Amino acid sequence: MSPLDGVANKAAQAQEGVAGEAEQPAPSRASSLDGVVIADFSRVLAAPYATMMLGDLGAEVIKVEQPGRGDETRTWGPPHFEGEATYFLSVNRNKTSVQIDLSTQAGRVQARELIARADVVVENFKPGTMKKFGLDYESLGRDDLVYCSISGFGSGKGADLPGYDLLAQAVGGLMSVTGPGPYEPVKTGVALVDVLTGLHACVGILAALRHRDATGLGQLVELDLLSVLLSSMVNQSAGFTLAGSIPKPMGNRHPSIAPYEVFQTADQPIVLAVGNDRQFRRLCSVLDVPELATDERFATNSARVEHVDELFEALSTQLRARPAQHWFETLTPLGVPCGPVNDIAHAFALAESLDLNPTATIGDMTLVANPIRLSRTPVSYRLRPPKLEQ
């Protein structure tokens, strides 16, 4: 039984596409990127996620797709919604679509006409592809154009390497710190590097637009999956660059904090994320083992990290005595971070119970809401993901 059983019915409703609909902004309220036109030559995930975010913020996004085939993710299913791949639907709202064959002269002319009225170009083809079509930043020769290129490993020596998220996770070190042990590397449950790269692309594009507003000059914005991943590994990366530490996978544990992992209760797993000694003392009190808080092996965070195996055994014995609901309801009011390991239905239900409005409805389609909240220029949901025939 989940600690969130009280909202399980909302989870079921969310799965049926009727719960947590995001409030639509009043039509009179302008969006942040009103008037910005984006020529979107992107496919798959990283760049389409970036252009969807910009579309949510009010930009007009025209997605260029290969005639008759479209974005590869149109075929990436199951699951499907009314015959359309939910993968494609997840990152392509607030866009219109045009089919252009860039391999033909007529198609390249059509693409140039589209770019001529655009403020931003976004592309994530293999490096050199847009240059071959005469559609790269230098060939277009527009001083006021913001041009964003996303690749797997840059446009230099890594240009020929395939830019797949799984490959980036492997060679970029993320899989080396993810998994139960050193011989069992595990990827993340979603294409996290692609998503992070899309977010970084948004930041770069918005910064370039801000500069253009001030100077009239656009610029080239470049990102690659590997560089984004190394930056996003934050403390793990800094541990290497500053201290020469090469981290290893620790399962659900943290290299610098304890207790910070998954524990089994009488009925289901919960997470404890105890970030300081005060929280640890409260935890020990609730578990009826106050002596652990003064034990020299556990009295400080550094000591707890050093003796994490012994700490895990001591806490596990106590936590198995009661169900997860009991610990959740008892520890949370005391400021001890803990929570159940939810499935995605219960995760949406939790967000709904906290009034976070996790979904947005466009026509008969319920999508995940944009998490950015702006008080004056809120995001908007104007267009369902385009069908290829559009």
Is 201 inside a domain boundary?
yes
Is 367 inside a domain boundary?
no
Burial (Cβ within 10 Å: 0-12, 13-18, ≥19) of residue 211: middle
Q: Is 240 in a helix, a strand, or coil?
A: helix
pLDDT at 29: 59
Catalytic residue among 136, 165, 194, 224: 194
Strand partners, 222: 149
Is 41 inside a domain boundary?
yes
Cβ neighbours, 10 Å, residue 294 = 10
Per-residue pLDDT of the chain (390 residues; tens, 9 = 90+): 444 544 344 334 434 433 344 445 444 458 999 999 999 999 999 999 999 999 999 999 999 999 999 999 999 999 999 999 999 999 999 999 999 999 999 999 999 999 999 999 999 999 999 999 999 999 999 999 999 999 999 999 999 888 899 999 999 999 999 998 878 899 999 999 999 999 999 999 999 999 999 999 999 999 999 999 999 999 999 999 999 999 988 889 998 999 999 999 999 999 999 999 999 999 999 999 999 999 999 999 999 999 999 999 999 999 999 999 899 999 999 999 999 999 999 999 999 999 999 999 999 999 999 999 999 999 999 999 999 875
Residue 364: active-site member: no
**Amino acid occupying residue 383:** L
Is 18 inside a domain boundary?
no
pTM to 2 decimal places? 0.87
Place of tokens 């195996």: 309
Q: How far is CA 331 from CA 7, 134, 192, 310, 341, in A?
A: 20, 61, 31, 22, 16
Is 66 inside a domain boundary?
yes
How many structural domains comprise the chain?
1
Is 336 inside a domain boundary?
no
Q: What is the pLDDT of residues 110-157, one digit of tens each?
A: 999 999 999 999 999 999 999 999 999 999 999 999 999 999 999 999
Strand partners, 48: none
Q: Do the Cβ atoms of 94 and 383 come closer than 8 Å?
A: yes
The whole domain housing 190 covers 31-232
Q: If we measure between CA atoms, which residue out of 221, 254, 253, 259 comes closest to residue 239? A: 254
Is 170 inside a domain boundary?
yes
Q: How far is CA 84 from CA 22, 78, 330, 362, in A?
A: 22, 9, 44, 15
Is 297 inside a domain boundary?
no
Looking up residue 86, the CATH number of its domain turns out to be 3.40.50.10540
DSSP 361: E
**Dihedral sign from CA coordinates of 300, 306, 308, 311:** negative
Long-range contacts, stretch 370-378, CB < 8 angstroms, 24+ apart: 370/53, 370/56, 372/53, 372/56, 372/57, 374/32, 376/29, 377/29, 377/30, 377/31, 377/32, 377/57, 377/58, 378/25, 378/29, 378/31
Distance CA 122, CA 232 (A): 22
Q: What is the pLDDT of residues 254-304, one digit of tens each?
A: 989 999 999 999 999 999 999 999 999 999 999 999 999 999 999 999 999
Place of tokens 């993710």: 73
